[in-house]
A and B are shown apart, each in its own frame.
Chain A
Amino acid sequence: MSACSRTRRHCSAYMDGDLDAGQARLVSAHLGACPACAAHLRSLRSAVEMLAETPRLESPEPIAPRVFDRLEVETRGAGLALILRPAWKARPLILPSLLPAAAVLVVVLGVAFALDRDAVPLPTVATRGAESWGPTGASGTESNPLFLSTEVSAPRVRTAAALTADLLDGLGETPLFVETVVARDGTVSMVTLLDGDSRHAGPLLEALRHERFEPGRRHGRPVAVSLYRLISRLDVFS
C-alpha cells in the first residue's frame, strides 16, 4: 500500500484524533510533504463541516399533539399504565373496537333485511288528525322509535290516498330518502328528509305527514317505528 493510500485511509481517524501517537506522526509528516493528500484531508474536513453546519429541519407542525391523540385512542384513558401491561395487552383497543363495529354491522344488516322483506308499496295520501305525543323515553315510543326486525311488525297503511302525478313530477331527477316515524296510534309523528333536494320536497313531505297507518307491533303491543323510504319519480317503494 502506498503512503498516499495509507494516509487517506487514516484521514478520518486523524481528524478525530483517534490515531496513536506513532501513526499520527506518520500521517502528519506525509500530509506536510504531499499536497494532494493535504488537499484530500481539506476536502474531507470541508464535507464534514458542510454536513454539520446544515440547519436542522423542523416539523411544520408540532408532533406532540399527534402522539397524544394516538395514545388517547389506543388507551382510552388508560394513561401510562399501558407501559406496565403485559405484551398481549399491548394494543388494548383492537378487540373493544371490533365489538361495537360488529354490533353496528349486525343492526344495519338486520334493518336492511327487515326493510327488504317488509317492503310495501308507498301508501296513498291520508289525512292525519291533530294529535301530539309527549316523549316517554323508552324504546318503541315516538321520541325513540324502533327499527323493523323479526320482533317488530311493519306498520301497514290504514287510510289510502294516492300520491298525485303533480306531486311526483315536482320531485326532479334526484331521489329522496325519507324517514317517517309512525306513532303508536298509527299517525305520523315525524317526517325527515335524510337525503335529496329539499327545494322541491316540501309538498311531498307534507303529504307524507298526513298518512295514517296500522301501527307496528312488538309482542302484540303497538310501538312507534321508523320507516325509511327512497322515493323517486320512477320508483316509489319503502
Chain B
Amino acid sequence: MAAGDIALHSAEALAGPVGLERGLVEQCRRGDPHAFARLVALHEGMVFNLAARLLGETEEARDVAQEVFLQVFRTLGRFEGRSTLKTWIYRIVVNQCRNRQRWWRRRRKDRSCPIDALTPADEARLAEAGTRMEGPDERLERRERARAVQSALARLSFEHRAVLLLREVEGLSCEEIAGTLSLPEGTVKSRLSRAREALRRALPNGGEEVR
C-alpha cells in the first residue's frame, strides 16, 4: 500500500468519529502545533491527489496543497462543524484549484487540465501504485489505462471533473458533494450524470477497449 493510501484511510478513520475530529479541531484552535501537524499528515495525501487530478500538474498540486493547509490554518477558527472536517477541506481544495484555473484563463494560458502531461516520474508512480507483484504486461496495461483516464479527464470541464473525482475517487456521497460544492443535491446528481456520460465519451471506445 502506498503512503498516500495510508494517509487517506487514516483520514477516513478520523473523519468517521465526530468526537475525535472535533477534538483535533479544538486542539488546533488552542494552538497545539502537534495537532495541526497531525491534521496535515492525515489529509495531505487526499489533498494532493485531488489537486493533482483537478489541475493535472503535480508541481501546481503541491503549491495548491500548501495553500490549502495554510488556509485551513488561518480559517480553522471559523470552521463551525456543520460539515465534516474532510468535506470542509475538500471544499477549500476545489476552490483553490478553481481559482488557479481562472487565473490561468485570464492570462490566456490554456492549461485547462494538462493532466496527460504528467512527468515520467508521475507516470512511473502511477504504474507502480497498484499491485507491485504484477508482471510487465499488467504494469504496461495499468499505465495505459491510467493515461487514458487522465487524458479523458483533461477533456472534461472543471466542474465535471470536480464532481466525478469527489464521487468516484474520493467516495463522497451526493449529499457530501452538495455540501462541498455548495450546490443543491439534485444539481449534484444531474451534474454527476452528465459528467459520467462525458467521461464515457472521452475514453477510447467508451472505456471498454482499454480495459
Contact = CB atoms under 8 A, between A and B. Distances in A.
A, B from the same assembly: yes
A53 B48 CA distance: 17
Interface residues of B, number: 67
B60 to A, nearest CB: 12
Contacts, number: 157
Interface stretch (A42-50, A109-117, A194-202): A42-50
A66 to B, nearest CB: 5
A57 B53 contact: yes
B49 A57 contact: yes
Contacts of A80: 28-33, 36, 73
B199 A51 contact: yes
Contact of B121 (A50, A52, A60, A81): A60
Interface in A80-94: 80-84, 90
A59 B168 contact: no
Nearest to B52: A57
A9 to B, nearest CB: 7
A56 B5 contact: yes
A64 interface: yes
A16 B165 CA distance: 16
B74 A90 contact: yes
A139 B33 CA distance: 41
Contacts of B3: 58
A44 B196 contact: yes
Interface in B13-27: none
A12 B206 contact: no
A220 interface: no
A83 B76 contact: yes
B29 A83 contact: yes
B204 to A, nearest CB: 10
Interface stretch (B92-100, B104-112, B141-149): B141-149
B189 A13 contact: yes
Query: Taking each of A61, A67, A70, which has the highest tally of chain B beta carbons within 10 Å of its own beta carbon?
Result: A67
A79 interface: yes
